Amino acid sequence: HYMLLTLHRDMPGIIGRIGTLLGNFNVNIASMQVGRRMVRGEAVMVLSIDDPLPSGLLDEIVHIQGVTDAFVVKL
């Protein structure tokens, strides 16, 4: 199992863009948690995914406007 962690700005559309990218690359989300400190501030999302990300997908996620950084952790 793997975890995808994203640091991003709390704004409409970020979660949807990331989810769409994952779906386009056939990556299944097993679970998801999202949190923030304040409205429109910094937020974090933790996704449990079944398989490693395909090559290049992490870079595409990081280049989404509003995403600060993203990491994959193998469990």
Q: What is the pLDDT of residues 7-64, one digit of tens each?
A: 999 999 999 999 999 999 999 999 999 999 999 999 999 999 999 999 999 999 999 9
Q: Can you give the pLDDT at residue 72?
A: 98
Sheet containing 29-36, strands listed edge to edge, beginning at the edge strand earlier in sequence: 29-36, 42-49, 2-9, 67-74
Q: Tally the domains of the chain.
A: 1
Q: At 38, which amino acid appears? A: M
d(C-alpha 73, C-alpha 54), whole Å? 14
The rounded distance, in Å, linking the Cα atoms of 39 and 20 is 23
Per-residue model confidence (pLDDT) at position 4: 99
Q: How far apart are CA 40 and CA 49, in angstroms?
A: 26
Residue range of the domain that includes 23: 2-74
Distance CA 54, CA 59 (A): 10
pTM for the full model?
0.92
What is the predicted pLDDT for the residue at 33?
98
Q: What is the CATH number of the domain that holds 52?
A: 3.30.70.260
